[in-house]
Chain A
Amino acid sequence: MSRAEIFNRIRTGLKVGADDSARRAAVEARLNARARNLIPQRAQLPAEELVQLFLNMAREAAAEVIEIERREQLAAAVEHYLQAQGVGQLVSSDEELIVALQWSHDNGIVHERRPARAGDEASLTGSFAGIAETGTLLLYSGAERPTTLNFLPDTHIVALRASTIVGPYEDAWQQLRQATGGQMPRTVNLITGPSRSADIEQRLQMGAHGPRNLVIVLMHDE
């Protein structure tokens, strides 16, 4: 009832005639072309400069960045960070990269692989891409990647492969379409720094409802 009424009003307002094939063709063309709009110069850098731009922008957004040379250093880097912060618990995703990690087990840190619950101290996930333009991480949901890990724990640690850093968001969309066969995942998260709010007297406070700390472990060899 409402639906027909709304569409009628729109079409009447637009003075759509009996033949709207030209309009339909215009819509189809736009949807199929997925043309890019203007992309800022800042995001169009040579590959080697993109990593530095990503690091600068992520740090500016208050993310903490730990750089490691090799993937094999990931577990140690994460454990070192957790110990330094006095965190004794880590929940992780079931991604291949994470499952393969060799934890040391002699430092008292409790490891679990499951979706996050209220009260979890820290989580570890991978990421699909880094977007240099604004220091943004792109993560998406799936059976091995519960979304709650990105939001409930106090600290979210994200492993990022240097080779997945792109300039503008548009490059990430293109790669996402390829990786998922065009089927949009249930949830796509673009994350730029830790949670914050300025709702009390416009004073910026970090750590509103999402993670208080966002830690990016950048793997240079990957």
Chain B
Amino acid sequence: MARLPEFDALRDQARDLKNHILEHLDLYLEVFERNVTANGGTVHWCRTAEDARRTILEICQQKEAKTVTKGKSMVSEEIALNDYLEANGVRPVETDLGEYILQLRHDHPSHIVAPAIHLTLEDVSEAFHQAHQRPKTSDPAALMREAREMLRKQFVAADVGITGANFLIAETGSTIICTNEGNGDLTQTLPKTHIVVSSIEKVVPTLEDMTLFLRLLARSATGQEFTVYNTLSSGPRRPGDQDGPEDYHVVLVDNGRSDMIASEMREMLRCIRCSACMNHCPVYGAVGGHSYGWVYPGPMGSVLTPQMVGLDKAGLLPNASTFCGKCEEVCPVRIPLPKLMRHWREREFEQHLSPASVRGGLGVWAFFAKRPALYRLLTASGSRVLRLLGGKRGRLAKLPLAGGWTDHRDLPTPSGTTFMQQWQAQQKREHRS
């Protein structure tokens, strides 16, 4: 932060620019499409995940592709591309080191920037030993050399390369990927066909506007001043070019995003997938990315997942938050994540999706909360009773109606007095002295 004192001012500009883009999203997408076409590429519009999977498979089949290398792409995770390609006879090979490790283990990302953050060195060592049939090593540098060597053959052999895109630039019809490894570059430069899979909200007007986001992205994602490789792609090989892809496709996925424009969720479309919110989230830190159950973890996942897979299936996510506000505080495009989570909680209650016990419990609590004298009496006596039950240990191993909690841990007992009682006692003490 000391090296970029303008960080907060940049965040304000980024928020305002994203809002401007979303207000004119259809028009910027039209310009982007026109310029991709002028560059000799093709844009494919996909309303659903199914449309996107099928479109990508068709391109692969037209090219009679057997092996496809992949750069890291969360949209491809979102549309579950790998399983689909594999089921249809096309072998996808993940080339980002983290994603490669996960693919060997038939595992899924637990973080959107550092996908294998949940694995230990030993896990990686074992996975490589199994897959490569080489002597086992626990030296991270040696493991990376091994992956480099193994993947080099795949890069060269692949028929199609699939990458994501961090931004789509309307002015030039370019897509940009930001990577530290250089895997995305080999993925898109060596095969004959390059497919970019991305989503409609990633469009930005000009190179200058893209630059605003690049200044924020690396800093928010990994704390770097700049990502090692920021690569703009604008179509297939030009006359005279000695390398590069012969075909260039951009597959643009909607998958529920256009529905967010009219709703309170529009602000979530500002997200640039930097991962700052999960990096700073105490809940994410405690439970890890897989606990979120779908592709996007952390606070941004708690807001996006109910939108994309349904509130009835993902309603628990916006509830699993302490509302400490750290996510909003660090977001480079100032998305009010706690507000959006609260919005889902309200929708859940309105639609009667929360379990009867929760609704009942809230009803009981509301009854007493509206009657302060009764509330205080009950909490004071409850606290004393629990205190007595806990005895000298100060914890309860079993509690009626709360087996779900006490099966796995003890419940620490309250101190015997309530907060209000302690507050009043302290006020009296201070008054006396």
Residues facing A in B39-66 (CB within 8 A) are: 39, 45-47, 51
10 A-B pairs with least C-beta separation: A210-B182, A13-B261, A143-B240, A199-B98, A208-B181, A9-B258, A13-B262, A3-B45, A134-B226, A190-B230
The range of chain A's interface size is: 35 or more
Chain A residues near B173 (CB-CB < 8 A):
184
Also in contact, A190 and B229, with CB within 8 A (given A26-B24, A115-B242, A169-B211): yes
> Is the pair B151, A209 in contact by a Cβ cutoff of 8 Å?
yes
B81: CB under 8 A from chain A? no
> Is the pair A186, B235 in contact by a Cβ cutoff of 8 Å?
yes
Chain B residues near A57 (CB-CB < 8 A):
225
B97: CB under 8 A from chain A? yes
Also in contact, A197 and B258, with CB within 8 A (given A23-B23, A38-B10, A150-B185): no
Tell me, in angstroms, the Cα distance from A2 to B215 when the chains sit together. 34
Tell me, in angstroms, the Cα distance from A32 to B154 when the chains sit together. 42
> Is the pair A189, B229 in contact by a Cβ cutoff of 8 Å?
yes
Find the B residue at minimum CB distance from A143.
B240
Chain B residues near A168 (CB-CB < 8 A):
211
Also in contact, A193 and B228, with CB within 8 A (given A199-B98, A200-B121): yes
Tell me the smallest distance from the CB of A197 to a CB of chain B, in Å: 5
Tell me the smallest distance from the CB of A130 to a CB of chain B, in Å: 13
Also in contact, A184 and B232, with CB within 8 A (given A3-B45, A31-B205, A200-B143): yes
A152: CB under 8 A from chain B? yes
Among B189, B211, B237, contact of A37 (Cβ-Cβ < 8 Å): B211
> Is the pair B234, A202 in contact by a Cβ cutoff of 8 Å?
no
Find the A residue at minimum CB distance from B180.
A196
> Is the pair B214, A186 in contact by a Cβ cutoff of 8 Å?
no
Chain A residues near B28 (CB-CB < 8 A):
27
Tell me, in angstroms, the Cα distance from A128 to B75 when the chains sit together. 33
> Is the pair A151, B185 in contact by a Cβ cutoff of 8 Å?
yes
B327: CB under 8 A from chain A? no
> Is the pair A60, B211 in contact by a Cβ cutoff of 8 Å?
no
A71: CB under 8 A from chain B? no
- List 26 interface pairs A-B (beta carbons < 8 Å), by A numbering: A2-B47, A9-B254, A9-B259, A13-B259, A13-B262, A37-B209, A38-B10, A142-B241, A173-B211, A184-B39, A184-B234, A188-B234, A190-B231, A190-B232, A198-B114, A199-B114, A200-B97, A200-B101, A200-B116, A200-B124, A203-B140, A207-B144, A208-B180, A209-B186, A210-B181, A210-B186
Chain B residues near A184 (CB-CB < 8 A):
39, 172-174, 232, 234
Tell me, in angstroms, the Cα distance from A43 to B233 when the chains sit together. 26
Also in contact, A197 and B259, with CB within 8 A (given A36-B208, A41-B5, A136-B226): no
- A/B pair count, beta carbons within 8 Å: 256
Tell me, in angstroms, the Cα distance from A12 to B263 when the chains sit together. 12
Also in contact, A187 and B25, with CB within 8 A (given A173-B208, A192-B227, A199-B116): no
Chain B residues near A192 (CB-CB < 8 A):
225-230
B364: CB under 8 A from chain A? no
Tell me, in angstroms, the Cα distance from A44 to B59 when the chains sit together. 46
> Is the pair B244, A141 in contact by a Cβ cutoff of 8 Å?
yes
> Is the pair A208, B227 in contact by a Cβ cutoff of 8 Å?
no
Tell me the smallest distance from the CB of B136 to a CB of chain A, in Å: 14
Interface residues, chain B, with chain A CB atoms under 8 Å away: 3-6, 9-10, 13, 17, 20, 23-29, 31, 39, 45-47, 51, 95-98, 101, 114-117, 119-121, 124, 140-141, 143-145, 147-148, 151-153, 155-156, 170-174, 180-183, 185-186, 189-190, 200, 205-209, 211-212, 214-215, 222, 225-244, 254, 258-262, 266
Residues facing B in A29-75 (CB within 8 A) are: 30-31, 34-38, 40-42, 57, 60-61
Interface string of A1-37 (1 = CB under 8 A from B): 1110111011111111000100110110011001111
> Is the pair A202, B117 in contact by a Cβ cutoff of 8 Å?
yes
Among A31, A118, A186, A211, contact of B244 (Cβ-Cβ < 8 Å): A186
Among A2, A148, A191, A207, contact of B148 (Cβ-Cβ < 8 Å): A207
- Other than the known A190-B226, A200-B97, what 6 A-B pairs have Cβ atoms closer than 8 Å? A40-B215, A118-B156, A143-B241, A147-B243, A169-B214, A196-B180
Also in contact, A148 and B190, with CB within 8 A (given A16-B26, A199-B97): yes
> Is the pair B205, A38 in contact by a Cβ cutoff of 8 Å?
no
Also in contact, A151 and B144, with CB within 8 A (given A6-B47, A37-B212, A118-B152): no
Tell me the smallest distance from the CB of A145 to a CB of chain B, in Å: 9
Tell me, in angstroms, the Cα distance from A75 to B140 when the chains sit together. 36
